[in-house]
Structure 1
């Protein structure tokens, strides 16, 4: 029990709300129960008596400084009274003192809503991810996903980070065997250990930032940046293999790492046909191989997409890229690519896609110019199986180097064929702040008329991704 002085008008409001026989009035002082005070404060919020709600919340906190419900009322009252900093502090304390999944979920959701209405979109996303730790049921999870999508759409800044670790039996894309064959004919020498398949662990970090510069009903323009870092840890078996070969380079972990960085701009806009959209993009970037700068590049692209049917879409793409080598000017190259992908949503919600891409690389550098084609098919299941979302993919590729040379031109050039398959499993119930783990099992095989480029790979990749 606690006492609080109220105006006669507000006393009338209080008596209107109270039904408990324990409530008594003496002069201008009203003594009410904690439960009644909460109900009156909530009613005061409903009828825009925000100062009364604030005072009642403060009184509740005099009785119990850990009352999460009182902090929630205080947050709402301060928000309506134009005190954003006090409302933010109350929201934080409401979450801090919340008890149980439902109460913690509600407190985090309220804090996120407050941040959203104050246009603090990053803070809103932070609180919604906190709410994800306390989802009481599936309905709440769906509601939270919808709220997060709303905040993300309003937020001009988009931030995404993905990390993964993958044990691999061929992290350097090395040859299967030491035999040096060209078109089945043995050649002088052998394939040394450092260019053969080396095992170990590959770790990647992919950071992407996007900022919306402008948006209207028909278009949006974004500035973007990306940094992708690939690091490796050679196994003891790989180190031993190189140590036993007197002619092999003794590679270190840093020799096999790589870094990619770019900045760019994307312009998305609607086309004249219903359901048709397109993206114009341009970017500049650098790559590093090992500890050395590899090349600088510039790229432009155009990607239209057309709705062919309610559940079917065709996406096209074309890009042109120029690379300036930091190793040797003759290794500068021009890369052009066209692609097409057909997406179809099946009646049961599963997703099926077919894609093909054609690429041409031209350069004055030795053994760089080539033409390639890749076809792929992907299938993803809409409904989780035992709380695991499953998707699969298969890719077939062909690359031809017309003027390939090894101590002289190779008859017929170099031709590589590859096949890669993968299965990805996302563990939707292992949720931490809206992030879930996924495992991808991938196997691939590449065959070539030059044995140096025959390779097999098997890898299992563990990564963390956002479920929103």
Structure 2
């Protein structure tokens, strides 16, 4: 590949994948004719592209002797130094190029070379941050896809992976309270007035979380990861909610959790059509800033891929919960099964069934539950928005209840739709909007609830 057009000199050095092996050939070519700086830049870039970083480095040095702030020459020298294994020099040169860049092409070239050098040096996470900068400053969609391609390669080879999540969502029921104002209790023939905190309180829910994964080992057949997850959810109450419950505040319903998981993914048998996942998790939760409970959970899921993009799955889970509060201990079993279909139009349909059995001396924690769900994801954006929607129906049965001799039976219907606004993007992140609604009907009015929510968040577009 030979370059002849100067505007693309700084970009040509970064169009190759980060996975390509480095070539530090030392062939020398003597230049016996006078050349202009533009011609020398092209010759230097061609030297590196065609496997002669030593010559490209020397030509870049000549250009920088003429003008120490020549951004294209800095990019060329940084790439040549990286190919020659001079990583410290490559990083400092790329950084100088970034701060001296005057246009999108120069910023793209500088950030790409910085990312390539960091990746070569083992700093994969920092390389991903610079690749997001490159995508943000790409002078065209073609060059943006180069940055996205390299980002995915670095992400795939990085033993560390971290995801941050933030969202805010107005909610009609932040405390999972009852929609009723009165209810019958203890099989008595009259209604009890519900307290303010037992009724549905409206407000705004705020979520923040971090999940960081470290890959312990990887082979062609399996991956072994450690995953740490931290989440916090808190609320502010609306003026109406404050009137209903004047002594309550949003933080009274705050919930936090911390969990550490070991996850193994691999294949059952010799083929690749039977992927499985084993997960062992230990965690702790807090409610209203006070310790709530700790738990240990183990689960296994087996998939069968019967065609590209389509598979069936089945899983088994066991969880033991130990109370750290007035709540009682609980012991849970869970079964799950489902089907994901990749449709001819590339849309995805997922059908699932989940059964849960919870055992506890507390009647509220002793129940059987069955949940049926369906999700549909559109492959093609609609008016620039990627759409994903879901519907679930759940039945929960408590044989006993402290409020009635006939036990407790709940039926819950939930629906949600999420839109990701792909056309709005900043450093590879796009805003998302989720609309959700759920309704629980119960033979005990205290547990009847209705909730509507609107959640605004952000998510990575690549």
Same topology, TM > 0.5? yes
* Structure 1 gap ranges (5+): 1-8, 24-31, 244-249
Give, in whole Å, the separation in 2 of the partners of 1:454 and 1:88: 61
Cross-structure match for 1:299: 297
Distance in 2 (CA, whole Å) between partners of 1:351 and 1:183 is 47
What is the rounded CA distance, in whole Å, between the counterparts of 2:124 and 2:240 in structure 1?
Answer: 49
Q: Tell me which residue corresponds to 1:13.
A: 30
Give 1:5's aligned residue: none
Distance in structure 2 (CA, Å) of the matches to 1:317 and 1:343: 14
The counterpart of 1:123, out of the listed 120, 123, 126, is 126
Question: Relative to structure 1, is the Cα distance of residues 53 and 240 closer, same or farther in structure 2, using a 3 angstrom cutoff?
Answer: same
In structure 1, the residue matched to 2:418 is 424
Q: Return the offset for 1:48.
A: 5.5
Aligned residue number for residue 244 of structure 2: 241
Number of the residue aligned with 2:406: 412
Aligned to 1:189, what secondary structure does the other structure show? strand
Alpha-carbon separation, structure 1, partners of 2:42 and 2:188: 89
Q: If you compute each CA radius of gyration, which structure gives the higher value, 1 or 2? A: 1
Q: Which residue is 1:379 aligned to?
A: 376
- Whether the 8 Å CA contact 2:182–2:191 is kept in 1: the answer is no
Output one character per residue of 1:394-431: Cα deviation in whole Å (capped at 9) or x when no partner.
1111111111112xxx2321111111111101011211
Q: How does 1:320-331 map to 2 (within 5 A)?
A: 320-328=318-326, 331=328
Task: Give 2:204's aligned residue.
Answer: 201
Aligned residues: 435
User: 1:286 — aligned with what?
Assistant: 284
User: SS where residue 439 of structure 1 aligns?
Assistant: strand
TM-score (normalizing by structure 1) = 0.88
C-alpha spacing 1:63/1:133, structure 2 compared with 1 (3 Å): same
Structure-2 separation of matches of 1:283 and 1:97: 48
Q: How many Å apart are 1:47 and its aligned residue? A: 6.2
**TM-fit CA distance, 1:466:** 1.2
Per the alignment, in what secondary structure is the counterpart of residue 180 of structure 1?
Answer: strand
* 2:175 match: 172
What's the offset of the Cα at 1:89?
Answer: 1.3
Q: Write the deviation string for residues 343-380 of structure 1: whole angstroms up to 9, x where unpaired.
A: 11111111111111000100012422011111111111
Distance 1:137 1:395 in 2: 42
Match of 2:156 in 1: 153
Change (3 A) 1:314 1:143: farther
Aligned pairs (5 A) from 1:247-262 = 250-262=247-259
1:275-295 per-residue CA deviation (whole Å, 9 max, x = no partner) reads 111111111110001121001
What is the rounded CA distance, in whole Å, between the counterparts of 2:351 and 2:91 in structure 1?
A: 49
Is residue 356 of structure 1 aligned with residue 353 of structure 2? yes
- How far has the Cα of 1:136 moved from its partner? 3.7
